[in-house]
């Protein structure tokens, strides 16, 4: 089998899924189109976290704060300034990345658990500012009625807008994952001491990975505002960060596409199980416990192992 034949075999499934997602809104009710858009945004956020957790070995426990920073920056620029929407769309993830650079500069000097604890502390400080600065952020009320252009204000318009940029971001993350930089980050994850011994600047690579991941988290925050036309302090709270972390575990954090599956499972549980009981998180917790015992590599990791064993 030639290399081109192998590439075709790898690409046909994502291409088929993408074509299906393009045509689905024509056959689905508006509510299900909205749920799919929520899954896209959540999957992009989970994928951005997995860049540093699963592929970089960093304990990024408060990743949701960068999601919230991107969302707040976009909403504030649209409501408080006369800047065009596309400029706000570009600047907002850069602001999230700048915050990631600032927090990451302090955190990469620590290791393991201390890294995560300091990040939670600094992230909670940003949440407190958004929660208390009522004149700017409207406090716990949040910002509602964010002016979104009519072309993407509807559910279907927002769906295609979110689908387009989610696919572009996933392609960019895949290229980074397969690049020498991505390979180096995986080596740092497995053995940072040995990487440092052979001349790799571990801190610089880790800081770069944090900035890249927080940029994509900021894009997810912008897409959230496009879909919901609002933003609120809960996006910056540590509970959301824990939920994203669970998505990576659920799908398989050592795989590339695992967080997408984890995000889809979580959103569907929250939406449809939540109709019947408010304790849907208990069901998610039971699933997570079962996965830790029986599928420690996550759902996608288990599928990958099965496919590999069949090839062998």
Name the one residue in this structure whose structure tokens are 């590599």.
297
**What's the predicted TM-score (pTM) here?**
0.91
Q: If you compute the radius of gyration of the chain from its CA atoms, what whole number of angstroms results?
A: 20
Q: What are the phi and psi torsion angles at 133 (to 5°)?
A: -80, 80
Q: Is residue 8 pLDDT above 50, yes or no?
A: no
* Long-range Cβ contact pairs of 35-38 (< 8 A, separation 24 or more): 35/267, 35/268, 35/271, 36/159, 37/155, 37/158, 37/159, 37/162, 37/163, 37/227, 38/227, 38/267, 38/271
Q: For 141-150, what is the mean pLDDT? A: 89
pLDDT band at 255 (very low <50, low <70, confident <90, very high): confident
Tell me how far apart the alpha carbons of residues 98 and 74 are, in angstroms, rounded to a whole number. Answer: 14
Tokens of 117: 């604890």
pLDDT band at 269 (very low <50, low <70, confident <90, very high): confident
Residue 10 has a pLDDT of 58
Considering only residues 310 and 225, tell me which one the structure prediction assigns the higher pLDDT.
225
Helix (H, G, I), strand (E, B) or coil at 143: strand
Residue 5 has a pLDDT of 44
Residue 139 has a pLDDT of 85
Low-confidence winner among 56-60, 153-157, 298-302 (lowest mean pLDDT)? 298-302
Residue 274 has a pLDDT of 74
Tell me how far apart the alpha carbons of residues 100 and 109 are, in angstroms, rounded to a whole number. Answer: 14
Percent above pLDDT 90 for the chain: 45
Residue 17 has a pLDDT of 87
Listing DSSP states for 2-14 in one string gives -HHHHHHHHHHHH
Residue 157 has a pLDDT of 93
Tell me how far apart the alpha carbons of residues 217 and 235 are, in angstroms, rounded to a whole number. Answer: 11
Write out pLDDT tens, residues 15-45. Answer: 888 889 999 888 889 999 999 999 999 999 9
């Amino acid at each position: 089998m030639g290399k081109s034949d192998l590439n075709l075999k790898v690409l046909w499934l994502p291409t088929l899924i993408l074509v299906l997602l393009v045509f689905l809104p024509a056959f689905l009710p508006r509510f299900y189109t909205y749920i799919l858009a929520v899954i896209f945004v959540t999957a992009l956020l989970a994928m951005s976290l997995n860049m540093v957790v699963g592929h970089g070995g960093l304990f990024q426990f408060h990743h949701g704060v960068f999601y919230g920073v991107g969302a707040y920056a976009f909403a504030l620029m649209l409501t408080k300034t006369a800047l065009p929407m596309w400029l706000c769309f570009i600047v907002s993830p850069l602001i999230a990345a700048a915050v990631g650079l600032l927090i990451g500069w302090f955190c990469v000097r620590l290791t393991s658990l201390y890294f995560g604890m300091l990040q939670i502390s600094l992230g909670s400080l940003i949440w407190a500012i958004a929660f208390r600065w009522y004149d700017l952020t409207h406090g716990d009320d949040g910002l509602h009625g964010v002016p979104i252009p009519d072309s993407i204000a509807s559910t279907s318009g927002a769906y295609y807008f979110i689908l387009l940029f989610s696919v572009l971001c996933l392609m960019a993350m895949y290229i980074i994952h397969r690049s020498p930089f991505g390979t180096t980050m995986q080596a740092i994850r497995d053995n940072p001491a040995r990487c440092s011994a052979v001349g790799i600047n571990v801190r610089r690579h880790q800081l770069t990975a944090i900035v890249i991941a927080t940029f994509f988290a900021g894009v997810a925050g912008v897409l959230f505002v496009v879909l919901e036309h609002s933003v609120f302090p809960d996006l910056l709270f540590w509970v959301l960060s824990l939920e994203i972390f669970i998505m990576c575990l659920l799908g398989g954090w050592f795989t590339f596409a695992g967080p997408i599956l984890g995000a889809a499972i979580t959103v569907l549980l929250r939406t449809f199980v939540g109709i019947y009981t408010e304790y849907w998180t208990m069901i998610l917790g039971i699933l997570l416990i079962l996965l830790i015992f029986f599928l420690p590599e996550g759902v996608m990791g288990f599928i990958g192992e099965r496919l590999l064993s069949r090839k062998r």
